[in-house]
Amino acid sequence: MTPKVQAFFDPATSTATYLVSDPVTKAAAIIDPVLDFEPKGARLSTGSADAVLRAIAEQGLKLAYVLETHAHADHLSAADHIRRRTGAPVVIGAEITQVQKAFAPLFEVEDLKPAGGDFDRLVREGDVLPLGDLSIEVLHTPGHTPACVTYLIGDAAFTGDTLFMPDYGTARADFPGGDAHALYRSIQKILALPPETRVFVGHDYLPAGRTEPRWETTVADERDHNVHAHQGVDEAAFVAMRHARDATLAPPTLILPALQANIRAGALPQASAAGRVFLKLPVTMAG
């Protein structure tokens, strides 16, 4: 079956949020929602997420899930905001516990719930969630992070950061827990899907020569044209490319505020006695 897919592109973080629905039953899921954060003034707002919620209301959809493809390092997640507004459970890959173990000490986070309990449902390879007359199948696709998953809904695959548009390539694999070998194998799992499968990517960073963002392609196009992982690129060549490229990349602009919220499903730290919310900025002295 074919789900209805609507994309909401956030130019500030080059992120695509998806509203996926069953045309028959109107059951819907939101994938990778964005909480707006202006870093210079540390100002948060919910305009991007609220636009998706308005679309749900206007179309008479029934929100069943908020699906996270992974704990994002490039934007703050609006999952908790949407959960509080709608009651919809937040779903993420079960290996989020590894990501929490890596980053909670950095920010001295001491209030995480045990066993990934800040999220409502942890999913693994082969899990299936109902979405009206459709199903959400889970593929574990680690490499960018240990917890990355791809959601397969009808003829559509939502790959998060694992695969980008063919002319941009693939995710970096140098974050804690990242693994270029695992990333290559995850990509092969996606490329083994039927060639007509629609692929919806998590970001579009506008490679040289293109000025308009795009977020939808197909497995066939990725197999034939992905600049990093097209058919014929073997694991050794991919890993060598990924290691060389990742060594040149700066950390994402929002990585520090994003991760300390996103390992909590987008929830912010508890407010102080004065009612202020603080995000920590760990400082590293250059050697």
pLDDT for the residue 105: 93
How many angstroms separate the CA atoms of 224 and 226, rounded?
6
Q: How far apart are the first and last CA of the chain?
A: 56
How many angstroms separate the CA atoms of 273 and 279, rounded?
15
Question: φ and ψ at 21, to 5 degrees?
Answer: -140, 155
pLDDT at 192 > cutoff 90: yes
How many angstroms separate the CA atoms of 128 and 255, rounded?
31
User: Looking at the chain, how many residues does it have?
Assistant: 287
pLDDT for the residue 229: 97
How many angstroms separate the CA atoms of 110 and 108, rounded?
6
The alpha carbon torsion through 148, 151, 155, 159 (nearest 10 deg) reads: -30
pLDDT for the residue 285: 82
Weakest-pLDDT range from 101-115, 170-184, 221-235, 241-255: 101-115
Question: Which pair of structure tokens corresponds to residue 130?
Answer: 């109902």
Rounded to 5 degrees, what angle do the CA atoms 227, 233, 238 make? Answer: 80
How many CA atoms within 13 Å lie on the side-chain side of 158? Answer: 28
Exposed e or buried b per residue across 8-38, where buried means at least 16 C-beta atoms within 10 angstroms of its C-beta:
bbbeebbbbbbbbbbeeebbbbbbbbbbbbe
pLDDT for the residue 159: 98
pLDDT at 190 > cutoff 80: yes
How many angstroms separate the CA atoms of 93 and 122, rounded?
5
Q: Which CATH superfamily is 4-262 part of?
A: Ribonuclease Z/Hydroxyacylglutathione hydrolase-like (3.60.15.10)
pLDDT for the residue 286: 80
Beta bridge partners of residue 31, listed in sequence order: 18, 67
Average of per-residue pLDDT across 147-156: 98
Helix (H) or strand (E) holding 82: helix 79-86
How many angstroms separate the CA atoms of 22 and 39, rounded?
37
pLDDT at 180 > cutoff 90: yes
pLDDT for the residue 249: 96
pLDDT at 94 > cutoff 80: yes
User: For residue 272, with 0-12 CB atoms within 10 Å meaning exposed, 13-18 middle and 19 or more buried, which class applies?
Assistant: exposed
Beta bridge partners of residue 218, listed in sequence order: 198
The model's pLDDT over 194-211, given as tens digits with 9 standing for 90+, comes to 999 999 999 999 998 899
189: left (phi over 0), alpha (psi -120 to 50) or beta: alpha
**Dihedral over Cα of 244, 103, 138, 14: its sign:** negative
How many angstroms separate the CA atoms of 92 and 123, rounded?
6
The pTM assigned to this predicted structure is: 0.96
pLDDT at 191 > cutoff 90: yes
pLDDT for the residue 38: 95
pLDDT for the residue 284: 85
